């Protein structure tokens, strides 16, 4: 007999992955609750209720009010039946958030504490002449777990949460522990609350809370691989306290932030000449096979998207990115091929999924109606994506931003998606190419001195700026990579995927000077992309003083020269770096 798990749906992001995780774990049905009427109709039958939330605190709380769900949720909590909150679902149990300071906007107030934003000028980072990336994105560890004011032994677990595993966090605001909050936590602990703590830089915050049958995590268990699935399973089974055997060595050097080194697998997806959806890889963005004497050859086919994505998940990829490099402009919106790729991939892949390409205002050829970018993004989120990557549209938006004297209009895809789903859901994919200069005074863009003489210009130029392109590198813009990234951060983007046309397909390593330049001008996470040919290239980029947040590989994984875990084991064993290695 199937058991039913009820999930509150307030239209705040990717619920498909949560449903997939629940069904993956056993014989379960998932029933969504959208409003007070549906809650009341189902209430007597609810045994396990999950309250997920993604993105903006104010949006979530406003949706609860709009759908009249506040009182039913309070009533359910009072009944003592099992409830699990996830991410902003955890934050809703607090009194208020700095993210949404409106005086009439309050959470459920089970914990009379406020949520605050991580400090990008964290003293631990400033002392190293760095800025801490905000949002907090990546895989982090639990520092300690306490019950009734007493710390757990390392082997003890709270709904499967333990101090050995890594969990996926993605948020800018948290229950950060100040001196004032320490007193509140002490008081709540004496009342019977359990707490799990994590640190991001020098800031410690609540990673999980529990009281009776109420349980909530700041991290996303449905995106935390096998460790996260175990947390959901323990909640569904009602196993609150347990034990875990610790086998993994604990001597690895942890990053200043506390995060692991994040290794991402990327799949460039397009239709080939036969109309099949394939993964391909370019050489400076040319994805066609090169054969002497032929000017136009077949699209390089490296495999099927879902099959390859599953392979990389099983190899230990921390995230998987799908970049749609054709527009599918003749497809009805509801039938976009990438939606089906996401739906299938999300059934068995439980790490973050990013999708890029075509995230902009669109005309649906089936209805001839204009569909805003935020609705296109919502379709991807509903199909299993956690983040959307905006490329060409971001360039147009940045150009308008500067033309408008750096004023926001609230109407761009970046602003609209981030205000609804949170800035962590918006990745900007940057495709720059080196533009040579005789002198920095030759441009108004941020320039850099070329360090490697082999990369000097054709006339010996020793300076350059990185000129932004769009449409897969075909269109060049009078805009620099730094200027694009600064504008997009101001508009609400949460992460930068920094490609390099000069290094794409070269296997000679990442573009170090470009990465340093951009990272030194933004405070959001930067992902290194283009040029990885072996594990040492990942080590080189993670050892940069500027603090690159993640590194992405494609061709070396597609060609099966290395697995994702080959890279991670190299980072761990040769460089002593902290990485996520799951027990199968």
Chain segment 239-249, per-residue pLDDT in tens: 999 998 876 55
Report the pLDDT averaged over residues 408-412.
96
Residue 330 pLDDT grade (very low, low, confident, very high; cuts 50, 70, 90): low
Residue 335 pLDDT exceeds 90? no
Which residues neighbour 452 within 8 Å (Cβ) at sequence distance 6 or greater?
none
Q: Indicate which CATH number applies to the domain containing 111.
A: 3.40.50.880
The H helix count followed by the E strand count for the chain is: 18, 30
3 state SS of 62: helix
pLDDT at 493: 98
Report the sign of the C-alpha dihedral through residues 441, 443, 449, 454, in that order. negative
For residue 546, say whether it is annotated as part of any ligand binding site: no
Lowest mean pLDDT among 139-143, 295-299, 557-561: 295-299
Mean pLDDT score across all residues of the chain: 92
pLDDT at 305: 92
State which of 191, 208, 243 marks the end of a domain: 243
pLDDT at 299: 42
Are 204 and 135 within 8 A, CB to CB? no
User: Does 87 participate in catalysis according to the annotation?
Assistant: yes
Please name the helix (run of DSSP H) or strand (run of DSSP E) that holds residue 70, with its range, or none.
Answer: helix 70-79
Residue 329 pLDDT grade (very low, low, confident, very high; cuts 50, 70, 90): low
Pairing of strands 203-211, 144-147: unpaired
Nearest to 49 by CA among 5, 110, 2: 5
pLDDT at 301: 53
Q: Indicate which CATH number applies to the domain containing 504.
A: 3.20.20.70
State which of 243, 271, 296 marks the end of a domain: 243
pLDDT at 334: 66
Burial class (CB in 10 A: 0-12, 13-18, 19+), 196: buried
Give percent of the chain above pLDDT 70: 92
Tally the residues of the chain.
Answer: 584
For residue 499, say whether it is annotated as part of any ligand binding site: yes
User: Quick check: is 451 in a domain?
Assistant: no
CA within 13 Å, CB half, 195: 26
Together in a domain, 9 and 145: yes
> Helix, strand, coil shares of the chain as percentages rounded to 5?
30, 30, 40
pLDDT at 284: 46
Are 22 and 28 within 8 A, CB to CB? yes
The residues with which 198 forms a beta bridge, in sequence order, are 205
Please name the helix (run of DSSP H) or strand (run of DSSP E) that holds residue 156, with its range, or none.
Answer: strand 156-158
Report the sign of the C-alpha dihedral through residues 391, 396, 402, 404, in that order. negative
User: Does 268 participate in catalysis according to the annotation?
Assistant: yes
Chain segment 33-90, per-residue pLDDT in tens: 999 999 999 999 999 999 998 878 998 999 999 999 999 999 999 999 999 999 999 9
Together in a domain, 301 and 424: yes
Please name the helix (run of DSSP H) or strand (run of DSSP E) that holds residue 278, with its range, or none.
Answer: strand 277-280
Distance CA 240, CA 173 (A): 26
The DSSP 8-state label assigned to residue 192 in this structure reads T
Structural domain range at position 375: 262-436+468-575
pLDDT at 219: 98
Report the pLDDT averaged over residues 259-284.
79
Together in a domain, 74 and 126: yes
Together in a domain, 369 and 420: yes
Together in a domain, 231 and 329: no
Residue spans of alpha helices (H) in 324-480: 337-346, 373-383, 392-403, 413-421
Report the pLDDT averaged over residues 527-532.
98
Residue 158 pLDDT exceeds 90? yes
pLDDT at 303: 61
User: Quick check: is 125 in a domain?
Assistant: yes
Together in a domain, 226 and 299: no
User: Quick check: is 317 in a domain?
Assistant: yes
Catalytic residue among 194, 268, 393, 489: 268
Distance CA 93, CA 55 (A): 15
User: Quick check: is 449 in a domain?
Assistant: no
Distance CA 63, CA 220 (A): 21
Residue 286 pLDDT exceeds 80? no
pLDDT at 584: 57
For residue 488, say whether it is annotated as part of any ligand binding site: no
Together in a domain, 347 and 214: no
pLDDT at 433: 98
User: Does 222 participate in catalysis according to the annotation?
Assistant: yes
Residue 144 pLDDT exceeds 60? yes
Together in a domain, 335 and 208: no
Together in a domain, 312 and 225: no
Q: What is the 3-state secondary structure (H, E, C) of 550-571?
A: EEEECHHHHCCCCCHHHHHHHH
pLDDT at 282: 47
User: Quick check: is 515 in a domain?
Assistant: yes
Q: Could you tell me which residue, 340 or 543, shows the higher pLDDT?
A: 543
Distance CA 94, CA 387 (A): 25
Chain segment 203-247, per-residue pLDDT in tens: 999 999 999 999 999 999 999 999 999 999 999 999 999 998 876
User: Quick check: is 459 in a domain?
Assistant: no
Give percent of the chain above pLDDT 90: 80
Residue 252 pLDDT exceeds 90? no
pLDDT at 295: 42
User: Quick check: is 253 in a domain?
Assistant: no
pLDDT at 285: 44
DSSP 214-256: EEEESS-GGGSHHHHHHHHHHHHHT--EEE----S---PBPPT
Nearest to 426 by CA among 435, 437, 417, 434: 417
Total tally of structural domains belonging to the chain? 2
Torsion of CA 290, 293, 296, 298, to 10 degrees: -50
pLDDT at 293: 45
Residue 310 pLDDT grade (very low, low, confident, very high; cuts 50, 70, 90): very high
For 8-26, b/e burial (b = at least 16 CB within 10 A) is bbbbbbbbbbbbbbbeeee
Together in a domain, 209 and 319: no
pLDDT at 155: 92
Residue 164 pLDDT exceeds 50? yes
Q: Could you tell me which residue, 294 or 521, shows the higher pLDDT?
A: 521
Q: Could you tell me which residue, 515 or 274, shows the higher pLDDT?
A: 515
Q: Beta-carbon neighbour count of residue 303 at 10 Å?
A: 15
User: Does 171 participate in catalysis according to the annotation?
Assistant: no
Together in a domain, 366 and 472: yes
User: Does 43 participate in catalysis according to the annotation?
Assistant: no
Are 491 and 397 within 8 A, CB to CB? yes
State which of 193, 209, 243 marks the end of a domain: 243
Nearest to 238 by CA among 124, 22, 75, 83: 83
Catalytic residue among 87, 266, 464, 485: 87
Catalytic residue among 431, 495, 502, 549: 431
User: Quick check: is 452 in a domain?
Assistant: no
Which residues neighbour 118 within 8 Å (Cβ) at sequence distance 6 or greater?
132, 134, 135, 136, 172, 173, 174, 176, 200, 201, 203
pLDDT at 237: 98
Question: pTM value?
Answer: 0.93
The residues with which 176 forms a beta bridge, in sequence order, are 205
Residue 357 pLDDT grade (very low, low, confident, very high; cuts 50, 70, 90): confident
Please name the helix (run of DSSP H) or strand (run of DSSP E) that holds residue 280, with its range, or none.
Answer: strand 277-280
100: tokens are: 């949404």
Cα→Cα distances 287→465, 503, 532, Å: 26, 15, 17
Together in a domain, 529 and 492: yes
Distance CA 469, CA 483 (A): 13
Residue 327 pLDDT grade (very low, low, confident, very high; cuts 50, 70, 90): low
Catalytic residue among 38, 203, 222, 483: 222
Catalytic residue among 6, 171, 220, 537: 220
Q: Beta-carbon neighbour count of residue 7 at 10 Å?
A: 19
């Amino acid at each position: 007999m199937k058991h039913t798990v009820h999930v509150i749906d307030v239209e705040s992001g990717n619920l498909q992955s949560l449903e997939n995780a629940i069904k993956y774990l056993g014989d379960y049905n998932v029933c969504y609750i959208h409003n007070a009427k549906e809650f009341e109709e189902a209430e007597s039958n609810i045994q396990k209720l999950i309250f997920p939330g993604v993105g903006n605190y104010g949006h979530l709380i406003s949706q609860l009010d709009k759908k009249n769900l506040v009182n039913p949720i309070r009533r359910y909590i009072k009944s003592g039946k099992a409830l699990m909150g996830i991410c902003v679902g955890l934050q809703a149990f607090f009194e208020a958030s700095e993210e949404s300071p409106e005086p009439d906007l309050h959470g459920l107030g089970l914990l009379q504490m406020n949520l605050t934003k991580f400090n990008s000028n964290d003293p631990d980072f400033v002392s190293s002449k760095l800025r801490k990336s905000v949002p907090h994105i990546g895989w982090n560890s639990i520092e300690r777990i306490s019950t009734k004011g007493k710390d757990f032994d390392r082997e003890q677990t709270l709904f499967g949460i333990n101090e050995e595993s890594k969990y996926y966090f993605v948020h800018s605001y948290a229950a950060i522990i100040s001196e004032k909050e320490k007193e509140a936590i002490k008081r709540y602990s004496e009342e019977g609350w359990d707490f799990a703590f994590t640190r991001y830089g020098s800031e410690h915050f609540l990673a999980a809370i529990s009281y009776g049958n109420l349980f909530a995590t700041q991290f996303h268990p449905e995106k935390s691989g096998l460790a996260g699935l175990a947390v959901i399973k323990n909640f569904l089974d009602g196993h609150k306290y347990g034990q875990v055997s610790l086998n993994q060595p604990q001597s690895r050097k942890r990053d200043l932030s506390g995060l692991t080194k994040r290794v991402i697998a990327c799949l460039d997806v397009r239709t080939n000449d036969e109309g099949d959806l394939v993964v391909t890889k370019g050489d400076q963005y040319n994805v066609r096979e090169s054969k002497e004497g032929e000017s136009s050859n077949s699209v390089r086919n490296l495999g099927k998207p879902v099959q390859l994505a599953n392979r990389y998940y099983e190899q230990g990829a921390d995230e998987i990115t799908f970049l749609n490099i054709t527009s599918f402009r003749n497809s009805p919106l509801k039938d976009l091929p990438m939606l089906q790729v996401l739906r299938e991939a999300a059934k068995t892949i439980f790490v973050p999924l990013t999708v890029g390409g075509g995230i902009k205002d669109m005309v649906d050829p089936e209805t001839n109606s204009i569909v805003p970018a935020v609705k296109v993004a919502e379709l991807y989120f509903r199909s299993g994506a956690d983040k959307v990557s905006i490329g060409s549209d971001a360039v147009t938006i940045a150009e308008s931003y500067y033309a408008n004297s750096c004023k926001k209009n609230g109407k761009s895809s970046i602003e609209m998606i981030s205000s609804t789903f949170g800035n962590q859901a918006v990745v900007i994919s940057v495709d720059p190419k080196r533009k040579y200069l005789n002198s920095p005074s030759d441009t108004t863009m941020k320039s850099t001195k070329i360090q490697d003489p082999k990369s000097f210009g054709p006339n010996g130029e020793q300076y350059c700026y990185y000129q932004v392109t769009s449409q897969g590198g075909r269109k060049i813009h009078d805009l620099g990579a730094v200027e694009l990234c600064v504008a997009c951060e101001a508009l609400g983007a949460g992460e930068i995927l920094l490609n390099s046309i000069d290094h794409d397909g070269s296997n000679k390593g990442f573009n170090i000077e470009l990465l340093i330049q951009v990272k030194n001008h933004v405070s959001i996470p930067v992902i290194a992309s283009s040029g990885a040919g072996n594990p040492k290239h990942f080590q080189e980029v993670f050892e940069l003083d500027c603090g690159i947040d993640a590194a992405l590989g494609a061709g070396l994984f597609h060609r099966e020269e290395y697995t994702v875990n080959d890279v991670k084991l190299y980072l761990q064993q040769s460089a002593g770096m902290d990485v996520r290695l799951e027990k199968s």
